[in-house]
Amino acid sequence: MFSELVVCYLFLGGAGAGACLVLSVMGILVPRSRFSKGPARSIFVSWEYRKLFGFGFAFALVALVAGGLFLFADLGRADMVLQLFTSPRAVHITIGAYALIFCILGATLQALIWAQMIRRSSVFILRLLCVLTALISLVVIAYTGLLLQSLRSVPLWHNIWLPALFILSSLSCGMGLVMGASLLAGLGSVFGSVLRQIAFFDGLVIALEALSVVTFLLTTLVSASKTAVLSGKELVLGSNSGLFWAGFVLLGLVVPLALDYQLCSRQPIRASLGMTSAACVLAGGFVMRYCLVQAGVHPGI
Q: How far is CA 49 from CA 3, 213, 257, in A?
A: 39, 36, 27
Residue 112, classed as helix, strand or coil, is helix
pLDDT of residue 41: 58
277, 259 contact by CB (below 8 A)? yes
pLDDT of residue 151: 77
Q: How far is CA 114 from CA 20, 108, 174, in A?
A: 13, 10, 19
Choice among 94-103, 238-247, 255-264 with the minimum mean pLDDT: 94-103
Q: Per-residue confidence at 299, pLDDT binned at 50, 70, 90?
A: low
245 vs 33: which has the higher pLDDT: 245
**pLDDT (tens digit per residue) in 158-208:** 889 999 999 999 999 999 999 999 999 999 989 999 999 999 999 999 999
C-alpha dihedral over 47, 52, 58, 63, to 10 degrees? 180
pLDDT of residue 32: 84
134 vs 158: which has the higher pLDDT: 134
In 3D space, the residue among 13, 232, 280 whose CA is nearest the CA of residue 240 turns out to be 232
pLDDT of residue 78: 45
84 pLDDT more than 60: no
290, 7 contact by CB (below 8 A)? yes
pLDDT, averaged across the chain: 87
CA–CA separation, 178 vs 172, rounded Å? Answer: 10
Region 283-291: mean pLDDT is 96
* Cβ atoms within 10 Å of 187's Cβ, excluding its own: 21
Helices (H) and strands (E) in the chain, counts: 11, 2
SS3 content of the chain, % helix, strand, coil (to 5): 80, 0, 20
Q: Per-residue confidence at 59, pLDDT binned at 50, 70, 90?
A: very high
Domain segments of the chain: what residues? 4-297
121 pLDDT more than 80: no
Q: Per-residue confidence at 88, pLDDT binned at 50, 70, 90?
A: very low
Domain at 4-297, CATH from 1.20.120.920, 1.20.1630.10, 3.40.50.2020, 3.20.20.70: 1.20.1630.10
Backbone angles phi, psi at 127, to 5 degrees: -65, -40
pTM for the full predicted model:
0.91
DSSP 91-107: -HHHHHHHHHHHHHHHH
